[in-house]
Every structure is written in C-alpha cells, then in structure tokens.
Structure 1
Amino acid sequence: MKKLLTLAALALAAAAAHAQSYDEIVRLRSMNETVRGIRSMADGVHYTVLEDNTIRKYAYAEACAGETLLPETPDSFAIADYQLSPDERTILVASGSEPIYRHSYTTRYYLSDARGLRPIMLGIDSTRDASFSPDGRRIAFSSRNDLWLYDIETESVRRITQDGAWNRIINGTTDWVYEEEFGFTKAYAFSPDSRRIAYLRFDESEVPVFEMMRFDGKLYNEAYTFKYPKAGERNSTVELWLFDIDTGARTRIDTGAETDQYIPHLGWTPDGRLYFYRVNRLQNRFEVVLCDADGSQRTIYEERSPRYVERVHASTVTFLDEDRFVVMEETSAGRMHLYLYSIGEGLLHPITRGDWEVTGIAGLTDKRIYYLSTEASPLRRDLYSITLDGRKKRRLTGGDGYYTIAPSRGMKYYISTFSNASTPNRVEIRTGEGKLVRTLRTSEALRSELAASERPVKEFITIPTERGDTLNAWILRPRGFDPSKRYPILMTQYSGPGSQQVADRWSLDWEDALVDAGYVVVCADGRGTGFRGEAFKKCTYGQLGRLEVEDQLSVARYLAAQPWADPARIGIYGWSYGGFMALGCALKGDGLFKMAIAVAPVTSWRFYDSIYTEIYNGLPQDNPAGYDDNSPLNFAERLDDTHTKLLIVHGTADDNVHFQNTMEMARALNRCGKQYDMMVYPDQNHSMMPHDMRNVRQKMAEYTIEHL
C-alpha cells in the first residue's frame, strides 16, 4: 500500500509539474508576433491592419506611427472583421461574433465614415456575411437564411429573398457541409457594374436531420437539430439565381441536368459575365461554366480524374482579363501546377513545371504571376514570380523555412511572415522584386527566451518503411538527450488526405511540454498526406485508414528498434482524423503501443459528411468494404487492453465529428469486454471550445505521464 501511495504521489507531482510546463508553453506561444487583419489599399502603397481593437493605416515604404481610421470606441466594441468600401471612404465593421459552426457567425454591423461610427441594419437580427457592392452604394448581407440589401444613402433595407427557413431553405449563405468542406459561407457575388447579384439557393428539406443534445446547465436538456448529409445520404439541392437590383426580377440560371452535384464557387469575369464551378457528386469531374451575355453557356475548363479532383476553391481559377485565365491543376502532371487558358482557345501552355507543387497564388499582374511552392523542399514554402509564358522565374524569398504572403494591390509590395523550426515569426515588408523595405515584427523577446532556455528544436528526418521507401518526419528530444539511455516515445500525427504535419515552421503545443518531462515526440506523414505528388496522396483512395495505419505501425516498429528507445513505452495520439488513426493503431498494433489517445475520433466513415468522405472513399453504396473493413468499430476485439491503455475524448456538442462516433466505439468495446478510459466534455465542439481547450490538453498530458 505504501508503494502504491508513493507511486500515486509521484504521478500527481509529475502531472502538476507538467501543468506548469504547459502553461509555460501557452505563454511562450502567445509571444510569437504577427500582424492581424492586413488589407491592401487600392493604391498599392498603403495598407490597413487591426491593432489594439482599432484599424490603422500605414504606408508600405515608410515607418510611421500609423493613422487611426476609427473614432474611439468603448471596450465592449470588439472588432471581429472589417472591410473598406471601394472608394475607401467608408469602413464596414463587424463587432462581436456569435459562432454558428466552424466558419460562420452572426454579428452586428457598423459603418464608419465622415459622419462617425454608427450601427446599421437596425431591427434585423442574426446578420452575417455582409459586403459592399462594387459601386459602394449598397451592402448585401444575410439574415435568417434570406439575402438582403442595405442602401447606405437612404439607410433602408430590402429583402431579396422571402423563402428562407431553418432546416429547409438557405439563400445567399451555405449549408453545413459546404461551409465545413468548401470553406466558405458567403454564397453570393455582385456583378462588376453593381446591377445584379448572383446567389446560391440551398434546398435542404430532404437532407436528414442530425440531433445533438445540449445540456447547458439546465434542468431539462434540449436537442439541437440541423441538417447534416452523411456519406451516401441526400445532399441539398443547390440552385444558382440572378437578382436584378433595378427591376427586382429573379432568374434561375441553368446549372445542368444533374441535381445531385456541387456548385462550390460563383463569380464574374472582369468584363461582367457570370461563371460558376460545377463538381459531380463523386468529385472526379470539375467544370467551369461561363454564362455569355446572350444567355448561352459553355464549359471553358474541365478536369477529370479516375479517383478524384483535388477540392477546388476560389483561386483554383483566376481570370486575368476578358479571355485569359490561370488554373491550378494536378491531374495532368501529377503535381499541382499553373496553366494559362483562353476562353476561346482552351489550354495555351503550362506556366510552371517540375517535381514540386504550387501551393497557392499570392498575386497577379498583367505580366507576372506570384506563387508559393515546395520547390526548395516539400517541408517549406517559398515565394516565386514568373512571367505568364513560363519564363524568367525568380525566387523572391531567401530564408530556409515557411513563408506566408499578404500582397499589395498590383504586387508593388508584399508582407511576408517567415518562420522555421528554430525561428519564430519574422514579419517583413518587401518590394514586389523581393527587396527588403523594413521589418515589422521579429518576436525578439520570444527568441531570447527560447535561446536562454535551450528549448529543444525539431529535427527533420526520414523514416524507412518495410516497403523500402521513406516517410518525412520530425523528432523532438529532451534537453540533455543521452543516446545511451532509453526514452519513452509519443507519436503524434493527423494523417488525413492531403494534410501535412511535418513542415519546417515554428510551433509549440502540449507535446512540447511532454518533451520537458523526458519524452521523445515523433511525428511522421504517411501515405495519403500532401505535397509529395498525386500518386503518394491518392493511393489511399477507397480504403481510408488501411495504408495510413500500416505506415504509423511501421514508424512505431522503426522507433522501437532504435538503441535510445524504450520499445515497451511507445504511445500514439491524434485528433479528428488523427483520432481515427490512433484508434486504428491501438487496435491493430497487437500490443505495440502501451498507450493511445483518440480525441474526437471518426470511428466509421459512414457517420461522417458526404463531401469529405465521398471524395476520398467513394459512395458507401458502391464501396461498402472501403467503409467497413478499416472501421475501428469492426475490430474492437483486437484491443490488447492488458497492455494498451486507451483514452477516448470527445465533446458532446461536436457538430463535425459527432459524439455518436465515440458512443458506438464504446458500444463495440463494451461488447468485446474491453477496458478503456473516456473523458467527455459537455457542450464542447470539435475544438473543445468555448471552455475546455486547456483542460483537454492537461488531461492528455497527465494520462501520458501516468500510462507511458
């Protein structure tokens, strides 16, 4: 008994020390400097930012105190977002936010101009997704599933649609699955002449309802219901409509014979023609459809794949003028590259080529395109520019690491944020040619503390598999690492399709606090992850969880064989897709792992949403084996609970990966007579917000220290 008490006391002391260490991680992470809310102004030589809950204007080329653009506001006025009007004399400010789902929120809108700061859209609640018309006279916005117009001069509102209804009809904003998987909520666009608005109308009346229980400290709990299309189930029927602001006429735009398809983007060409993306349900065919002035339509771009076309976004197609446009595409070359197209002539030529990937377009001029790529390394991002004919390529960034870019209008300047594994953020202004103008942030205080404490830095390695190929990985070793000793190892991973966890950028999280406690932490990107080519990424198609689990098991076996590793003390952790993987590894590992932590795990892809699941796994009606053969629910009996301690963590208000996943996993384990641990967070979402982000990390750390 005395020995047990001593062990318990040691565990508590270790947990307390770790909690203190994690608080230190949070403090250090908060010192990583950045610049928020960057907006280039129309002249391309000034920009605005969010600072100290106000908006300030700066010149790119000159160091100055900055001009405050808002009048003094009370402390309760919290800026969530802002936009400058086209003439930049008025600012639309969103103050406060009431979250709906991951990207969506309602807010209160204010206008700031020569008359001061004043609330608008009075008497209308649940306002969201507001934006100026190109002529600056009106603001479109959504409220309660309908689309509205606000006239700035008359301060009047006009309701464009009348049939919006919860869980039935949505106008001008997106349904749950579009928001989550296509990553946008504003589903309307003004024409360049401000006379028309194109918008999407979602009919989700046939989409099955998901019910999520809310407790909220009430005497009687309440059900929250929303439309959630699971794999193979009915999606919303999505229509494209056109509203004429002058006449009030509404016209439905023909989007083709298929109704079970996706329209993930709509927009206008520079000369005022409507276009939209069209993606079939299986997501292996992508089209760009142009609506000509005479009412006719034509497909100006089409991409097909035997597996899937990588998910599209607004910058997949970028129009240069009335005829030419740039496409980001990976199917032709097996790598994501840029191509120049003509509406009239089709493909003109590739712009970029090589055994690397374009990851994003930073800016365009009439002569050059600026893009981020992995040319230096799959782990890094650098900015390049190239002429539209694919010549005169220049690398504009000089450091070895990871850059993000905020361009000025016309790419006269850009603001770069750089970091790498050993260097926190450095924010600089550079000319469009890459010449340093000035440095905005250096994170100097953080750099000094990191150097003084000799905090361990990620080492990038490659791990061989039994197949003979290699996986990119990083490793964190404790201070004073002694290769003659043996260390416990925590493997952390996400592993989802197209993702990347092994990147040369600065970060700190709860795993770093475990390193302080003497653990080695390793992360490896297995097959299915991104930026190593289409074949590497898409080989997991139709069999989610099979190859990915094989690779993590291979990594664990490799680590166990290292002379500094304690092979009896290897654990694995993951969240969301990573939680699905942690379960798969724990159940299929046959005792390889001493501990596993699965947070918000998918336990059957039949439970997850249509867009994400079907693009990678096909329809369950066509591919039942791909859904069932690798579901943790179907091999719960393989958990070696005498050797592997398993912790499952979930929030009951997770609208993304439903709590249902964990309940069914518990049912399967219970029926097999298996022992495991569980931590439940009432009314918390997929990120354990709004209250328990720290608590869940403290729980995971304490569980690791106790059981690994």
Structure 2
Amino acid sequence: MKKLIIGAMMLAAVAQMSAAGKLDLKEITKGTFREATIAAVTPMSDGETYAQISADGKQIVQYSFKTGKQVAVLFDVEKARGAKLKKIDDYVMSPTGKRLLIQTETKSIYRRSFTAVYYIYHVANNKLEPLSDGGPQQTPVWSPDGEQVAFVRDNNIHLVKLLYNNAESQVTKDGKFNEVINGIPDWVNEEEFSFNSSMVFTADSRQIVWIRYDESQVKEFSMPMFHLDAEDKGAYAYTYKYPKAGDDNSKVSLMSYDIKSHQTRQMQLPLDADGYIPRIVTTSDPAKVLAFTLNRHQDCLRVYAVNPLSTTCKLIVEDKVDKYINENVFANLVVTDKHLVLTSERDGYNHIYLYNLNGQLMRSVAQPSNLVVTEVYGYNDMTGDLYFAGYNGGPTDQKVFVSHKDGKVDCLTNREGCSSAIFSSDFRNFLSVWSDMNHPTVYTLCNNQGKTQTTLVDNKELADKYASYDMGTKELFSFQTGEGVQLMGYMVKPKDFDPNRKYPVVMYQYGGPGSQQVLNAWNIGMGRQGAILEQYLCQQGYICVCVDNRGTGGRGAEFEKCTYLRLGELEARDQVEAALWLGKQSYVDKDRIGIWGWSYGGWNTLMSMSEGRPVFRCGVAIAPPTCWRFYDTVYTERFMRTPKENASGYDEVCPIARAEKLHGALLLVHGLADDNVHYQNSAVYMDALVQADKDFRQLVYTNKNHSIFGGNTRNHLFRQCINFMNENLK
C-alpha cells in the first residue's frame, strides 16, 4: 500500500511538472511573461540625475545617473499640501525645475492624444493646486521661464500666468469640434507624423507659436458604437474627420500670439495649399522658431526660420529625396542652442546631418557607408559629440554609437543584440537598454565610454520563469528567393524538435514600409514577450517563422522603397517565396503552412494568400486594410501618391481585386470601432469574397479599436486564431 501511495505521489509530481512546463494562453494574455521595465525616465537638468514615477504611482523619485540610487523624492501625493490625489499618471517638469505639472485622470482619445486634469506643484513649498478649473486639458506646455503654461481645451489655446495668481485667459476663440483645431494636430497628422502637440513658446516666453488646422472641408467618417449595458438598448455613431487617399486635408497655417500686446499674427510661411507642417520647434533665439514643411508627395522637406513678430520665414534647409522622406526624420530631429540635427536617406542610407541654426551644413555622420541610423539621442554643443543608435553590419543588431567632432565613430554597446539609450542632459552617462532573442531586457547605467556602472533591472526572475517552461529554440536565418533577393528571418522550433519529422508551420509577418520584425531582440513575435505566442504554438506542434520582405527597414532606401506605388505586390511575392523555401526543408510539411498578421500584416496575409501560388493552407488577417483608397492621405500617399495619379496601383494591387485568387481557409478579424483601419475595409472585402464564392470566417469585436484589447478580449482573440489554425493545419 505504501509503495502504491509513493508511486501515485511520484506520478502526480511528474504530471504537475509537465503541466508547469506547458504554457497557458490566458496566462500569456494577462501578462504573466511581461518584463520588468524602467519607464517614463526624465533626465534632470543637473546632468547627474533622472526622475521616474514610482511603481505605485504615488511618487516622483529622483535617482543618480551613476549609481542608480535614490537621491530625493520630488513629489509625494500623500505629503503634498493642497489638492488631494490618489495617484499620478505622468508629469511635466518646468524648465527651471521649480515646478511640475502633475497629470491625473487621463482619458485616451486616439493613439497619442488624451485629455487629463493637471495640477501645478510648487517644489519650494510643497503645494499642489489645479492648473485650471474649466475642465480637462490637453498637451500643456511650459514657457522657458517656467512662469506660464499654455494648454488646449475644446480646440482652443488657453494661457495660465503663475505670477498673476494663476490667471487664465483664452488665446484663441475659433476652435470648434470637427472644424478648427488650435495647438494640437488633427487625426491624420497625429497618427502619421507621431505627435500630439503643435505649439511652442519663444525663447523669451513672450509669444506662443502654433499650428492651426482648418478641417472644415475634410470628409467625415462615422463608426457605430453600442451601449453594452443590457438596460440601455441604444447605439450611436462616433463621427470625426478622416481624410482618405486623394481627399482634402486640413488647411494648415502657422500662427503667433504676442502675450503682452494680445496680438495674433499669421506667419508668411511658404507652403503648398495642400502641404503639411509636421513639426515646429523653438530655438534659443526669441526671434527664431523652426517650422518643418512637407509637400503633399512628401519628397521635399523644408526647414524655415520663422520670426513670430515680423512673420517672415527664411528657408534654411531643403532636403529632396527620391520617392519619399522617411517619417522618422521628425522623431529624430534635435535642436540645440546652436545646432540642428536631421537624418536623411539622400545618399541611400539613413545618415545624420548636422547644421548650424542658419542652415549651414557642418558635418555628416555617414561612415561606414552602409551604417543605418535608427535613433538620434542628442548633440553636445560643447564637445561636438553626437550620440545615436543604428545598424552597422546587418539589420538585426542595433548598437549605440558616438560620432566625435573629428569624424571618428565609436560603438558604446558592443554586445550582440539590440541596444538603445537614454542619456543624461550633459551626455556623461546613459541608461542602457539591451536584450537579444534569448535574454529579456537588461537596464544598466553606463558612462559615456560605454562602461557599465551598475545594473538596475536584469529580469532574471522572468528569465528563470521562462526557462521553467518547455520553450523552443529561436534562431536567425537567411535565404535567397527565386528572384535572387536575400531575405532574413527568424525561426522558433519546438523544444523536442525532431529533424526527421514533418512539422506544420505558422508564419507571422508585418512587412510594412520601413518596419522590422526580424531582430535579435527579446520583444519579437505576434505577442512580443520573448515570442511567447510563437512558443505557445510550438507547444502545439508547430514551427513558427517570421520573414522581413522587401519594403522593410534596416537595409537602405533601395530595399525599402522598391515597393513604391504598388504596395503589397513584392511583399506578398516574398512571403510566398519564404513559404516555398520552407517547404523544401526536410522538417517542414509544405502542405501545412499558415500565415497571419495584424494591420499591414493583415493586408500582407490577404495579398500573400491571393498571390497566385497556392502555398498557404490557411491564414488569419487581423484589422487588415484591403484597399488603400480606404486609408488616410498622409500614410497612403507617402508610398502610393494619390488614386488619381496611380489608379492601377490602388485598384489592381489589393486583396479586393484578387478575391477570386484567394486560396486557403481564411479567418478575418476586425474591431468595429477601429478609427485607424476602418471596418469598411473588411466589410467591402467580404462582399468581394461572397461574389467570388469564397468561403471564409469572420470575427468582429464590438466597440474595439485597432488594438482590439480590454478585459478578456486578447485572450478570446488569440484563442480563436489558434483554434482556427489547429483546425486547418493539424
């Protein structure tokens, strides 16, 4: 009897260990494998420290850039006098460091826009008071002297003067929903130029300069929304301005407001009637604000020095490139007291160009020639050192570099994998963020020679947890297509991989212009988190693969821009070629290959399944565009020009036109409240499939946007996707 009990206990222990080695989808989607991170880091002006919100959201803590140790608490909700808060969402430090804007009650609008209730915190007397009593605010901006705050409410700019007992005045009066916007971008500018504020103060704090958007002629789009309370049977339409390819955009103009004289002026900015102003940036000169403009084709970038008083605008930099300007130029621009840093692909690779504020080119960072710059961190006016990240020797490993005044470039992070950085304000130290495919992110503090001073977060606990499961192996590979194109990918194989067995394959991809999925980094894959969804599929008996097709980034302008005017054609061809190559591997069942992707990856899935060569047994397209006529002006026309100029590119190269060629079982997924890729895309495509007599399945998520998340949504979504693959590939 004793032996039987011991045997049963041993069997139970083995079963428990086995269960522990298997991944659970619900655990994955609720974040069990999410990394520990260091987020919202703000370098302080002293050059020695940085600030960060505490994990419980109750404090803003100041840390040493050398040791990582706490040196002070800048704000504490429980100790502040005046207004009482439970927690904070974010903060904005004043230029002088004497005050902070404390962000609370944040409510998202679109991808980057939100409203919030802000409070002014006075460091000296520990006092907290409301910024305004008139309702939630958007994008508050400090004046350089730290004595004024401008913000937007209901599409109008307001000004609060702290020296006058927080007196509030309204700067603009013409703002109106769906008609005129002041100081914050409209939907398409926010989404495609990646910013949520378009107003600045001049260096002397005497004027506000902003972009005004007249969207009165932009066409409206409406989405159905449903009340989910059973007692409320109503539904309503959310209507907003969304310009689709070829349609009218907002008319933009550059304005200034003289705070002392209360005079509003319009700048004489040379701009095409349908041109863009993707950024404005203040400089150290009160008579100079930099305005960045693009023509509608987005192949000519101009930088103007704008005088807000005289309204004159002087062209200081012009960059014309083949096909289009890469949008990341705006994310990476740097303006110092004396210099302007811009990136450009004018010589075929994304390189850095340093100008003085009069527009004179001082130097470029373009060696070695195939160096691809991905991030610009800053320029030190004192030393001439320029700090950036990029690829050197291949598109999978990102490193941090410094370019010295004499042109010499040093690598500060030599470790294989992907590194990025946050530098102290004096560039003497930086927070290094590193990971590779097999190691979750490690956060260390380094000096500007790249020497590690201390480790803040190593994610060892996550690594140990990850290792306790039956995880497969991840590896990078490359192959040559039938057209002689070298493509790169990664592969995840099951832990018990048997080279003599034939495995079904699931291919994940995105594939959009300038994007990259194949990286030697931790957060790869459909669910990121160490390719955790791919590992889950491997435990179901699959091999998982991702291939970056032509049009993706990291390999220079020629590789990235070869898809121009015919988005989807070469991308789909390359995904089919990847499937054909996989089918020739001894361990792959060529008749059981599936493909899936989200957004552009959904488009790519549909294009690949209807490319003409029947290589995919099934596919899942989540939130896919299906015709670029349905998508927004800025993104679409950057790569396609307008439908009037390129009708064949829009109408011949799209899933709708290829519905009759669709091969394989299809699951089509969309959020009904997707403000980005409208449900219209799936609706029209489904009708094309019906008319072509093609079977498919559809999955719709009520009131969900492009990210399709909230509550149990992600768990449900991925379960349906994986069940569908199991039905068709097992």
Instruction: State the TM-score, normalizing by the size of structure 1.
Output: 0.93
Q: How does 1:624-635 map to 2 (within 5 A)?
A: 624-635=647-658
Q: Percent identity?
A: 33
More deviation, 377-386/528-537: 377-386
| Counterpart residue identity of residue 385, structure 2 | R
Out of 531, 545, 564, the position equivalent to 1:522 is: 545
Q: Which residue is equivalent to 1:698?
A: 719
Conserved? CA contact 1:352–1:390, under 8 Å: no
The 8 Å contact of residues 400 and 419 in structure 2, kept in 1 or not, is answered as yes
Give the whole-Å Cα distance in 2 for the aligned partners of 1:388 and 1:693: 49
Please name the residue that 1:301 is paired with: 317
- Residues 1:456 and 2:472 are matched in the alignment: yes
Match of 2:290 in 1: 275
Structure 2 partner of 1:246: 260
Cα pair 1:78 1:96 within 8 Å, conserved: no
Please give the per-residue CA displacement for 1:573-618, whole angstroms capped at 9, x wherever unaligned. Answer: 0110110111111222543211100000000000000000000011
For residues 264-321 of structure 1, the C-alpha deviation after alignment (integer angstroms, 9 at most, x for no partner) is 0111222231120110001111111112576543211111123112125445543344
Equivalent of 1:536, from 540, 545, 559? 559
Q: Once the 2 structures are TM-superposed, how far is the Cα of residue 110 of structure 1 from its aligned partner? A: 1.6
Alignment of 1:555-570 (within 5 A): 555-570=578-593
Match of 1:3 in 2: none
Letter in 2 for 1:142: V
Cα distance per residue 1:622-673 (max 9 Å; x no partner) = 0000101111111211223xxx110000000000000000100111111122
Q: Judge conservation of contact 2:470–2:539 (CA < 8 Å) in 1.
A: no
Q: Determine if contact 2:436/2:520 at 8 Å carries over to the other structure.
A: yes
- C-alpha offsets along residues 171-224 of structure 1, whole Å, 9 cap, x if unaligned? 000100011000101110111111111101000000000011111224121011
- Listed as ranges, the matches of 1:615-694 within 5 Å are 615-640=638-663, 644-691=664-711, 692-694=713-715
Give 1:73-92 correspondences, 5 Å limit. 73=78, 77-92=86-101
SS in 1 for 2:189: helix
1:483 and 2:494 matched: no
Residues 419-440 of structure 1: per-residue CA shift (max 9 Å, x gap): 0001101100111221211110
User: Who is 1:259 aligned against?
Assistant: 273
Given that residues 115 and 136 in structure 2 are in contact (C-alpha distance below 8 angstroms), is that contact kept between their aligned partners in structure 1? yes
Residues 356, 532 of structure 1: 8 Å contact kept: no
Aligned pairs for 1:226-375 within 5 A: 226-256=240-270, 258-272=272-286, 273-292=288-307, 295-314=311-330, 316-322=332-338, 324-331=339-346, 333-342=347-356, 344=358, 346-353=360-367, 354-366=369-381, 367-375=384-392
Identify the residue that residue 180 of structure 2 maps to in structure 1. Answer: 169
Confirm whether residue 707 of structure 1 aligns to residue 725 of structure 2.
Answer: no
Structure 2 CA distance for aligned equivalents of residues 577 and 225 of structure 1 = 24
CA contact (8 A) 1:18 1:514 kept: no
Letter in 1 for 2:180: I
Alignment partner, residue 203 of structure 1: 214
Which consecutive unaligned segments of at least 5 residues does structure 1 have? 1-15
- Counterpart in 1 of 2:143? 133
* SS of the residue 2:719 aligns to: helix
Alignment partner, residue 70 of structure 1: 75
Number of equivalences = 687
Choose 150-159 or 602-611, whichever is displaced more. 150-159
SS in 2 for 1:588: coil
**1:330, distance to aligned residue in structure 2 (A):** 0.8
Residues 316 and 72 of structure 1: CA distance in aligned 2, closer, same or farther (over 3 Å) = closer
Query: For each residue in 1:71-100, what CA deviation from the matched residue of structure 2 results, as whole angstroms up to 9, or x when unmatched?
Result: 334997342211122222222111131111
Say if 1:34 and 1:417, in contact at 8 Å, map to a contact too.
no
Equivalent-residue separation in structure 1 for 2:522 and 2:675 (angstroms): 30
How far residue 339 of structure 1 moved from its aligned partner, in angstroms, is: 1.9
Gaps in structure 2 of 5+ consecutive residues: 1-18, 524-528
* AA partner of residue 186 (structure 2): D
The separation in 2 between residues aligned to 1:63 and 1:80, in whole angstroms, is 22
> Deviation of residue 394 (structure 1)?
1.2
Partners of 1:257 and 1:360 lie apart in 2 by 28
AA at the equivalent of 2:45: A
For residues 22 and 237 of structure 2, what CA distance do their matches in structure 1 show? 35
Which residue does 2:36 correspond to in 1? 33
C-alpha distance in 2 between matches for 1:92 and 1:346: 37
Question: How do 1:76-155 residues align onto structure 2 when only pairs under 5 Å count?
Answer: 77-113=86-122, 114-116=124-126, 118-153=128-163, 154-155=165-166
Distance 1:465 1:17, change over 3 A: farther
In structure 1, C-alpha distance between the alignment counterparts of 2:359 and 2:534, rounded to whole Å = 53
Structure-1 residue corresponding to 2:189: 178
Give, in angstroms, the shift of residue 28 of structure 1: 6.8
For 1:425 and 1:376, how far apart are their aligned partners in 2? 22
Per the alignment, residue 486 of structure 2 pairs with 470
Tell me how far apart the structure 2 counterparts of residues 76 and 562 of structure 1 sit (CA, whole Å).
60
For 2:72 and 2:331, how far apart are their aligned partners in 1? 32
How far apart, CA to CA, are the structure 2 residues paired with 1:385 and 1:29?
37
User: Which amino acid in 2 is paired with 1:231?
Assistant: A
User: Conserved in 2, the CA contact under 8 Å of 1:263 and 1:277?
Assistant: yes
Residues 97 and 344 (structure 1), Cα distance of their counterparts in 2 relative to 1, 3 Å cut: closer
Query: Structure 1 residue aligned with 2:204, among 193, 213, 235?
Result: 193
What is the Cα deviation at residue 47 of structure 1? 0.9
CA contact (8 A) 2:61 2:70 kept: no
Q: Are 2:21 and 2:468, in contact at CA under 8 Å, matched by a contact in 1?
A: no
Inter-CA distance 312–435: structure 2 relative to 1 (3 Å threshold): closer
**Aligned positions of 1:17-56 closer than 5 A:** 21-26=24-29, 30-52=33-55, 53=57, 54-56=59-61
8 A contact 1:110–1:117 mirrored in 2: no
Contact 1:18 1:513 in 2 (8 A): no
Match for 2:299: what amino acid? N
Question: Are the equivalent residues in 1 in contact too, given 2:596–2:620 (CA < 8 A)?
Answer: yes
> Separation in 1 of the partners of 2:30 and 2:699?
26
Residue 607 of structure 1 corresponds to which residue in structure 2? 630
Tell me whether 1:552 sits opposite 2:600 in the alignment.
no
> C-alpha deviations, 1:125-148, integer Å up to 9, x for none?
231111211111111111110111
- 3-state SS of 1:42 partner: coil
TM-score of the pair, normalised by structure 2:
0.91
Tell me the distance in 1 between the aligned counterparts of 2:719 and 2:78: 37
The equivalent position to 2:452 in structure 1, one of 436, 439, 444, is 436
Q: Say if 1:213 and 1:222, in contact at 8 Å, map to a contact too.
A: yes
Q: Deviations over 1:361-403 (max 9, x none)?
A: 1122122111101014311111111123423x21111311111
| Aligned residue identity for 2:704 | Q
Counterpart position of 2:10: none
Q: Secondary structure at the match of 2:265?
A: strand
Distance in structure 2 (CA, Å) of the matches to 1:136 and 1:303: 35
Q: Is the 8 A contact 1:71 1:116 kept in 2?
A: no
8 Å CA contact 1:349–1:389 kept in 2: the answer is: no
In structure 2, relative to structure 1, the CA distance for the partners of 1:76 and 1:559 (3 Å cut) is farther
